[in-house]
Structure 1
């Protein structure tokens, strides 16, 4: 019986073991790395009052468990030549999410894709050099996906990434 329950849990989590609970130290480490992904092991250990070996082991466990998915730079898209941002909502053919997602992942400038509930099915955030490139992306790339029934483009006038709170 126990092995059947474990198999059910593994299926529910995409074949991965279920997540382990995070304690206050893990939460502090996550907050620190979200604020500064380049923080050294030494500075993490000092801030959360644990040994460097413990900090190293905890960060590795968070990586192995998939809690930390990776490290990246926060980019100012306008300064990087991607001055036009938009959220694009899509209505798609029922049960076509995986196929559509694979095609959207390949789009230049796509930075976030979410399957959502409500008046539309997918929310896509894109960054393009200008409105002409955005128009081209929507009209010739996204609307050409056979499973996409309709789109609506919401132009972003101003955006601000929220910093993690301590």
Structure 2
């Protein structure tokens, strides 16, 4: 994650939007869609990577299609002054896709994906609740998901 904000102009934002829609675009296709020359697209892409705006490329996987049809948000409270070690251990739990340090009533929010309710029970009761720093938790089932990606219009 970058420590400072990267200056983006309209061309950068067009390039980011196109790559967010399809990260497999060739530089030629990216240039065409962003309405810039190939050299400009290549230079901008290189700068966006170097400055940390683009941190990698990934494949989007449908969790249900690969057997991870149960998703839950698990809100977790931990003992005071254990957040750093807690974050690392919580991230190591089976099925934990994302660990978020939060403010408010709970210290962490975890996105957990598992195959079935028995697997979730094992993670929550067999693992999470036995961690010595955990003082409480609440589980919310995810009924449906819509991933809109990063809202690049906020950069305009």
Matched, 1:102 2:88: yes
Unaligned runs of 5+ in 1: 1-13
Query: Which of structures 1 and 2 has the larger relative contact order (alpha carbons within 8 angstroms, sep 6+)?
Result: 2
Specify which of 47, 52, 55 is matched with residue 61 of structure 1. 47
Unaligned runs of 5+ in 2: none
Q: Alpha carbons of 1:144 and 1:65: their partners in 2 closer, same or farther (altered >3 Å)?
A: farther
What is the distance in 2 between the residues matched to 1:28 and 1:41? 13
* Correspondence 1:142-153 to 2 at 5 A: 142-153=128-139
Residues 19, 65 of structure 1: 8 Å contact kept: no
Q: Alpha carbons of 1:17 and 1:136: their partners in 2 closer, same or farther (altered >3 Å)?
A: closer
What is the distance in 2 between the residues matched to 1:69 and 1:75? 18
TM-score, length basis structure 1: 0.82
What is the distance in 2 between the residues matched to 1:152 and 1:146? 17
Q: Which residue of 2 aligns with 1:73?
A: 59
Q: Which residue of 1 aligns with 2:75?
A: 89
Q: Which residue of 1 aligns with 2:9?
A: 23
What is the distance in 1 between the residues matched to 2:35 and 2:132? 54
Q: Which residue of 1 aligns with 2:35?
A: 49
Residues 31, 164 of structure 1: 8 Å contact kept: no
Q: Which residue of 1 aligns with 2:102?
A: 116
Deviations 1:39-73 (A, max 9, x none): 11111111112222221222222222221121112
TM-score, length basis structure 2: 0.87
Q: Alpha carbons of 1:17 and 1:91: their partners in 2 closer, same or farther (altered >3 Å)?
A: closer
Q: Which residue of 1 aligns with 2:25?
A: 39
Number of residues of Structure 1 aligned to a counterpart in Structure 2: 152
